[in-house]
Amino acid sequence: MSSRPFKRLLLTGAAGALGRVLRPAMRGHASVLRVSDIQPMEASGSDEVVVCDLADKAGTDALVAGCDAIVHLGGISVERPFEEIIESNIRGTFHLYEGARRHGVKRVVFASSNHVVGFHPQDEHLQTDCERRPDGYYGISKAFGEDLSRFYFDRYGIETVCLRIGSAYAAPKDQRMLSTWLSFGDLEALVGRSLLAPEIGHLIAYGMSANPSVWWSNAKAARLGFAPQDTSAAFEGASALPAALPGSPEARYQGGSFVVRGPFETLPEVPQ
Ligand code: NAI
Ligand code: 15L
Q: Residue 1: inside a domain, yes or no?
A: no
221 CA → ligand 2 middle, Å: 19
247 CA → ligand 1 middle, Å: 30
Q: How confident is the model at residue 1 (pLDDT cuts 50, 70, 90)?
A: very low
How far, in Å, are 63, 68, 69, 75, 156 from residue 103 at the CA level? 10, 8, 10, 21, 12
Instruction: Give the residue whose CA is nearest to atom 13 of ligand 2.
Output: 167
Q: What average pLDDT score do residues 32-40 get?
A: 98
Evaluate: CB of 183 within 6 angstroms of ligand 1: no
268 CA → ligand 2 middle, Å: 30
Q: Residue 241: inside a domain, yes or no?
A: yes
| Residue-level pLDDT at 88 | 98
Q: Residue 251: inside a domain, yes or no?
A: yes
* Among candidate residues 41, 48, 43, 47, the one with its CA nearest the CA of residue 63: 48
The kind and range of the H/E element at 222 are helix 219-223
Per-chain mean pLDDT for the chain = 97
What does the radius of gyration of the chain's CA atoms come to, in whole angstroms? Answer: 18
Tell me the pLDDT tens digit for each residue of 151-169.
Answer: 999 999 999 999 999 999 9
Total structural domains in the chain?
1
Q: What average pLDDT score do residues 230-243 get?
A: 95
Q: Residue 191: inside a domain, yes or no?
A: yes
Instruction: Give the residue whose CA is nearest to atom 8 of ligand 2.
Output: 167
| Residue-level pLDDT at 271 | 86
List 69's β-bridge partners, or say none: 9, 107
Q: Residue 265: inside a domain, yes or no?
A: no
User: d(Cα 81, Cα 63) in Å, to the nearest integer?
Assistant: 27
Q: What are phi and psi of 218, to 5 degrees?
A: -100, 10
Q: Residue 202: inside a domain, yes or no?
A: yes
Instruction: Give the residue whose CA is nearest to atom 11 of ligand 2.
Output: 167
Domain residue limits at 57 = 6-260
Q: Residue 267: inside a domain, yes or no?
A: no
Q: What average pLDDT score do residues 60-76 get?
A: 99
Q: One of 97, 138, 206, 253 is an active-site residue; which one?
A: 138
| Residue-level pLDDT at 91 | 98
| Residue-level pLDDT at 119 | 98
Q: Residues 6 or more apart from 99 whose CB is under 8 A from it?
A: 60, 61, 63, 64, 65, 105
Instruction: Give the residue whose CA is nearest to atom 35 of ligand 1.
Output: 111
Nearest atom within ligand 1 for CA of residue 92 = 18
How far, in Å, are 25, 71, 111, 165, 208 from residue 169 at the CA level? 17, 18, 15, 11, 11
Which among 77, 163, 216 is the best mutation to test ligand 1's pocket, defined by most ligand atoms within 8 Å of the CB? 77
Instruction: Give catalytic status of residue 152 as yes or no.
Output: no
Q: Residues 6 or more apart from 122 whose CB is under 8 A from it?
A: 176, 179, 215, 251, 252, 253, 254
Indicate which CATH number applies to the domain containing 244. Answer: 3.40.50.720
| Residue-level pLDDT at 2 | 57
Tell me the pLDDT tens digit for each residue of 79-111.
Answer: 999 999 999 999 999 999 999 999 999 999 999
Tell me the pLDDT tens digit for each residue of 189-226.
Answer: 999 999 999 999 999 999 999 999 999 999 999 999 99
| Residue-level pLDDT at 265 | 85
Q: Residue 193: inside a domain, yes or no?
A: yes
Tell me the pLDDT tens digit for each residue of 108-132.
Answer: 999 999 999 999 999 999 999 999 9
* Among candidate residues 117, 22, 136, 150, the one with its CA nearest the CA of residue 77: 136
User: d(Cα 33, Cα 51) in Å, to the nearest integer?
Assistant: 14
74 CA → ligand 1 middle, Å: 5
How far, in Å, are 25, 167, 171, 212, 231 from residue 236 at the CA level? 28, 18, 11, 14, 12
Which among 258, 260, 261 is the best mutation to test ligand 2's pocket, defined by most ligand atoms within 8 Å of the CB? 258
